[in-house]
Amino acid sequence: MRYHTPATFADAATIAASAQGVTRFLAGGTDVLVQLRAGSVLPDDLIDLKHIPEVHSITRTADGGWRIGVAVSGASLGANKDLVADWPGVVEGMELVGSTQVQGRATLTGNLCNGSPAADSVPGLIAAGATVTVTGPSGTRDVAVQDIPKGPGKTNLKAGEVISALTLPARGKNAGDAYLRFIPRTEMDIAVVGVAVSLRLDGDKVAEARVALGAVAPTVLLSDACAKAIVGTTLDAKALDALGAAASGECNPISDKRGTKEFRIEVAGVLARRAAKIAYDRAKGAKA
Amino acid sequence: MPKDEIKQTFRLVGTRPDRPDGLDKVTGRARYGADFSAPGMLWASVVRSPHAHARIKKIDASKALALEGVKAVVTRADFPEVPAGEYWDLQENTIAGERALYDGHAVAAVAATSQLIAHDAARLIEVEYEILPHVTDVDEAFKMDAPVIREGAADYSVPEGSPPNVVKVLDFGRGDVEAGFASADLVKEGHYTTEATHQGYIEPHACVGQLGSDGKGEMWVCTQGHWYIRRMCAGVLGIEAANLRVTASEIGGGFGGKTTIFMEPLSLALSRKSGGRPVKLVMSRAEVLRATGPTASASMDVKIGMTKDGKLTAATAVFRMQGGAFTGSPVDAALNCAFACYELPAVHHLGYDILANRPKAAAYRAPGAPMAAFAVENLLDEMWGELGLDPLDARMMNAAKEGTKSSYGPTFKRIGFEETLEAAKAHKNLSVKLGPNQGRGVAAGFWFNYNGDTSVSLAVAEDGTAQVSVGTPDIGGSRASIALMVAETLGIEYEDVRVSVVETGALGVNEPTHGSRATFATGKAAVEAAESAIKDMCRRAAKKWGIDEDAVEWVDGAARPAGPNAGKFPPLSIVEIAAKMSSTGGPIAGHYEGNPPGVGESFGTHVVDVEVDPETGRTEILRYLVVQDAGRAIHPSYVEGQYQGGAVQGIGWALNEEYVYGADGRLQNPVFLDYRIPVASDLPMIDTVIVEVPNPGHPYGVRGVGETGITPPLPAVANAIAAATGIRMHSLPISPSKLLAAMNAKRKG
């Protein structure tokens, strides 16, 4: 195994583009190192991104959004009060990943690139309308987060491409987001179902909404049907029922060791209703 | 005579001093299995079958052996032939012979100069398999046309024409069961299943083994019983037991799973093949879950009859348990425990020990009893509920007590089941009013407790302090408890007694710390050893005073004349006697070798409140009460810890823990991420009440507390869920998927 510590993303992309065998980028390492130890993924080239400047920083963008470096840990996100105030749903999704020790290392970008449909931080990012900057051998491009996952363990990134930053849009006024997941325990578990809702209110009515569903399909889903079910409503019982039905209707899950197909479909609806209510309350000023 | 008939209160017994291993453990100084190293040591890695059942056609280790740093590869061919029986089974489980019998079965092992090289080398060992049909489910394995795990494994108890994987049949009972059912006002039957669970100890198996061409060897190992390691390794490897010296490390959990061998002979075989270099072998979590432990899965039918007042008239149990690819599921203990809490005029038990393509079952805390309790206490709760009876009152009406002829044979001496029911009833948790979707469940449990072969040596040091050498690894506070009992007996301070778990060369044979025996048996042996040292010290005092040794008594850590007629001499303290030991006859010591009689059974009653989310089927434990008869709690904090630990493991078994096998027979969840033991935040503080009905067979009244506590949680949780939802779950675990589906079925009518 060759271990690389490039100083720029362009260098990282160049190394990755010329690598022949199994290549992995290393940020937090909470997936890569575990897979390496278990012998399930033995990279020929391991490219450590943590020596690149800015990968550890969280900065406000000119338009009031957020730029988050690829090595920013879950613990750092949670410690950033302004970010938490803007995007509590994004942060609470990330903070559900792993244990306290894992939180010291694990990153949003890593969680996304691991390609798990059950990744806890990804529904929140998608609901938020987050984008990533992808650096490749032929330059950079911006991609919506929902376009990164391809299927379990797979992304749409091409050989030699690496995510160099993650951007959250400006939150704006009268808006809130929330993420809920179902696990049989209370922590240290993988989502059986995860739902994120981000919405903006106009008075008491939902003016805009984005709903993302995790662990119910090969990739995290951004559901238009769910959004349509609540936009224009005050999130009354009828709207919540419509939202639940829409969420369940979007699911295309499997039965596995973590839960059955029927369970995932039903609970997706339950969590969508519950998460929407939290996001609504937050938009009304409730604190996370 | 039991000391509590002489004295009701004690100076030290029943207090809560600091644990002797505490500082080592909180500073990281304590040495666990993987912490041992030796000069010239090699590392081992094991090649395991990815198939549930496969013929091993060829093993080619040439590429591995060509790798630099690789010193030896062993396969079954490196082990001697041993006759059928315990050692053959252990050898076959240590390393597969003609066939791999379960996913994770060891097929070959390699030793190399580093762990990385060993792992690389293991991947280079090529094994050619012919995949065979497999069976992992207990009911499937019980069928006449199931894939056969092993021809000729059935013992004399199995009638002709039985299904081919049945290896043992148990059939016993007493009284007229049919008459009992005929006289009942209410007779019900139920079918119950439980999935296999793992002991879930945090420390994986680890050892360093060394074996020279002279047949002499050493082993450092994480175990509950190093004499068993010695005997079993010797049996598997064909070496003499006394030539293998085994030292037990500190232990990060065992729960029964470390009372046998798994990979230890591999390290010794690799050492022998690499010129006697020590070989270290540390399992990964996946190896632990795939190839060690677990307990059995069970399929059970129970039938109970009772009068309209709730008094039991008859009961029967038919249990089928698979304990993996070898004889040894705990179906016998399960049957013996099934109805042990109750007076029963007529009872009948039938049990089947069944082979399946799963790892060889190891003991797990009250082996078999939790499954049996799940079936029996579930059905009892349903029936008493139907009759409108209070679950504690109904149990009290039927409770086994002193003089009860137990369901499994013996007549109980003084036991404390009724006292646990009374204490549960009086507990504040019982008066908490429950809200919507909440339910309260009660269940009782039992474990025999055990004595076993025990050797202890005690020596008084020159300054009057005492060292105690024991052979039962301390998995639950036995060093503290033994030090308390010895200090109490000798009349010295707790801090002046050091209890050490010593290696096999230092004592006679000791069985492992199993069967809830260490504080009872090793404790009793240590007290006997102390009494014999006291006798010696009294003799020395008598000699000094020139009086008869029978005229000397031992009080408060000193010899003194027994009464005015014995003579008038100032007491001689242990410090004074010890200081003169060399000139008064040499070293002062005492020892005990035997099988200490006087075992006392332990009963428990648990009460749990749960809340079920009606939309997701998720169960939350709101409060949990353990009441159990300890006999006497020598160190109450440790006793409470045992109660809480048993409850927590039982809650995990009830709600989420299970072995999940795919259609290919491979274990799907061999990591703690998906093998869901409870995490701390899942649980409230577990409330405990220690009932003390002293065991007359132990000098300080000890019964043993380690195992009973895991027995009631399975049915208690199920009964609470039934109370919360109106749905009686007959299959564990009661996972959210399963419970939500059942609630939906009920809602649809």
C-alpha B337: how far from chain center: 15
Q: Which residue type occupies B299?
A: S
Nearest to B676 among A38, A189, A260 (CB): A189
Cα-based angle A226, A228, A232 (whole degrees, multiple of 5): 125
Report whether B599 contacts B433 (CB < 8 A): no
Contact list, B721 vs chain A (CB under 8 Å): none
Give the pLDDT of residue B6. 46
Inter-axis angle of helices B369-386 and B713-725, nearest 10: 30
Q: Is the dihedral of CA A60, A65, A70, A72 positive or negative?
A: positive
Residues whose CB is less than 8 angstroms from the CB of residue B82 and which lie 6 or more positions away in sequence, other chains included = B88, B91, B235, B236, B238
- Please, are residues A29 and A98 in contact by the beta-carbon 8 Å criterion? no
Q: What is the DSSP string of B122-186?
A: HHH-EEEEEE-----SHHHHTSTTSPPS-TT---TTSPTT--TTEEEEEEEEES-HHHHHHT-SE
Cβ pair A184:B615 closer than 8 A: no
Number of A to B CB contacts under 8 A, please give it: 56
CA pair distance A72, A57, nearest whole angstrom: 6
| CATH number for the domain formed by residue range(s) B371-449+599-748 | 3.30.365.10
Query: What is the rounded distance in angstroms from the CA atom of residue B104 to the CA atom of residue B646?
Result: 28
Q: φ, ψ for residue A59 (rounded to 5)?
A: -130, 150
Q: d(Cα B336, Cα B29) in Å, to the nearest integer?
A: 42
Residue of chain B nearest A181, judged by CA positions = B616
Identical fold at B3-30+451-594 and B371-449+599-748?
Answer: yes
d(CA A14, CA A136): 8
Q: How far, in Å, CA of B141 to CA of B357, rounded? A: 9
Q: Residue A235 is which amino acid?
A: L
Residue closest to A258 by CA, chosen among A206, A181, A203: A181
Q: How far apart are CA B46 and CA B64, in angstroms?
A: 12
Position A43 pLDDT exceeds 70: yes
CA distance B506 to B723: 55
What are the sequence ranges of the domains in chain A? 176-283
Asked if residue B733 has a cis previous peptide bond (ω within 30° of 0), the answer is yes
Q: Which of A38, A189, A263 minimises the CB distance to B737?
A: A263
**B659 contacts in chain A (CB < 8 Å):** none
| Sequence-distant (≥ 6) Cβ neighbours of residue A252 within 8 angstroms | A216, A217, A218
Beta-carbon separation of A258 and B674 below 8 A:
yes
pLDDT at B313: 98
pLDDT of residue B563: 85
Is pLDDT at A275 greater than 60 in this prediction? yes
**A214 interface with B at CB cutoff 8 Å:** no
The pLDDT averaged over each successive group of 10 residues in chain B (749 residues) is: 60 96 95 96 98 98 98 98 96 98 98 97 98 98 98 96 98 98 98 98 98 96 98 97 98 97 98 98 97 97 98 98 97 98 98 98 98 98 98 98 98 97 98 98 98 98 98 96 98 98 98 97 98 98 96 97 90 98 98 97 98 98 98 97 98 98 97 94 98 96 97 98 98 98 95
- Confidence at residue B7, expressed as pLDDT on a 0 to 100 scale: 53
Structure tokens given for B632: 């006497």
Q: Residue B218, SS3?
A: strand
Domain boundaries along the sequence of chain B: 3-30+451-594, 371-449+599-748
Kindly give the interhelix angle for B736-748 and A261-283, rounded to the nearest 10 degrees: 90
* Span A236-259, pLDDT tens digits: 999 999 999 999 999 999 999 999
B70-106 as b/e: b if 16+ CB within 10 A:
bbbbbbbebbeebeeebbbbbbbbbbbbebbbbbbbb
Compute the average pLDDT of residues A173-192.
96
Burial (0-12, 13-18, 19+ Cβ within 10 Å), B221? buried
Q: Is the dihedral of CA A105, A110, A116, A122 positive or negative?
A: positive
Task: Find all residues with CB under 8 Å of A25, minimum gap 6, and list them.
Answer: A12, A16, A32, A47, A48, A49, A113, A162
Nearest to A223, CA basis, from A209, A235, A237: A209
Secondary structure class of B454 (helix, strand, coil): strand
d(CA B705, CA B703): 7
Fold (topology level) of A176-283 = Enolase-like; domain 1 (3.30.390)
Radius of gyration of chain B (CA): 27
Q: Can you name the residues that pair with A256 across neighbouring β-strands?
A: A259
Distance from CA of A177 to the nearest CA of B (A): 22
A131-136 and A139-144: which strand pairing?
antiparallel
Arch. (CATH architecture) of B3-30+451-594? 2-Layer Sandwich (3.30)
Distances (CA, A) of B260 to B79, B87, B199, B205, B233: 18, 11, 13, 11, 10
Which of B586, B355, B588 has its CA nearest to residue B492? B588
Candidates B473, B364, B471, B365; CA nearest to B30 is B473
Facing A184 at nearest CB: one of B119, B286, B736: B736
Q: How far apart are CA B106 and CA B103, in angstroms?
A: 9
pLDDT of the residue at B1: 44
Separation of alpha carbons B390 and B605, rounded Å: 14
Kindly state whether A241 is in contact with chain B, defined as any CB-CB distance less than 8 angstroms.
no
Identify the pLDDT of residue B564.
Answer: 84
Considering only CB atoms, which chain B residues are within 8 Å of A185?
656, 676, 678-679, 681-682
Give residues 265 to 284 of A whose Cβ lies within 8 Å of B: 266-267, 270
Q: What is the pLDDT of residue B8?
A: 67
* Residue whose pair of structure tokens reads 């069928």 in the numeric block: B143
CA B256 to CA B646: how far, in whole Å? 12
Q: Which residues pair with B443 in a beta bridge?
A: B606
pLDDT in tens, A197-214: 999 999 999 999 999 999
d(CA A64, CA B351): 71
Residue B663, beta-bridge partner list: none
Q: At what angle do helices B636-655 and B713-725 cross, to 10 degrees?
A: 50
**pLDDT over threshold 50, residue A184:** yes
Please tell me the distance from the alpha carbon of residue B374 to that of residue B733, in angstroms, as a whole number: 11
Q: Are strands B588-594 and B572-573 parallel, antiparallel or unpaired?
A: unpaired
Q: What is the pLDDT of residue B227?
A: 98
Would you call A33 an interface residue with chain B, using a CB distance cutoff of 8 Å? no
Cα gap B50→B52, rounded to integer Å: 7
Residue B9's pLDDT is 83
**B42-48 and A58-60 strand pairing:** unpaired
Chain B residues in contact with chain A using a Cβ-Cβ cutoff of 8 Å: 119, 123, 284, 286, 615-618, 655-656, 660, 668-669, 672-674, 676, 678-679, 681-682, 735-737, 740-741, 744
pLDDT at B749: 83
Count the Cβ atoms, other than its own, within 10 Å of residue B680.
9
Contact B615 A267 (CB under 8 A): yes
Predicted pLDDT of residue B3: 56
Distance CA B528, CA B457 (A): 10
Bridge partners, residue B209, by sequence: B219, B279
Check residue A286 and give its pLDDT.
Answer: 87
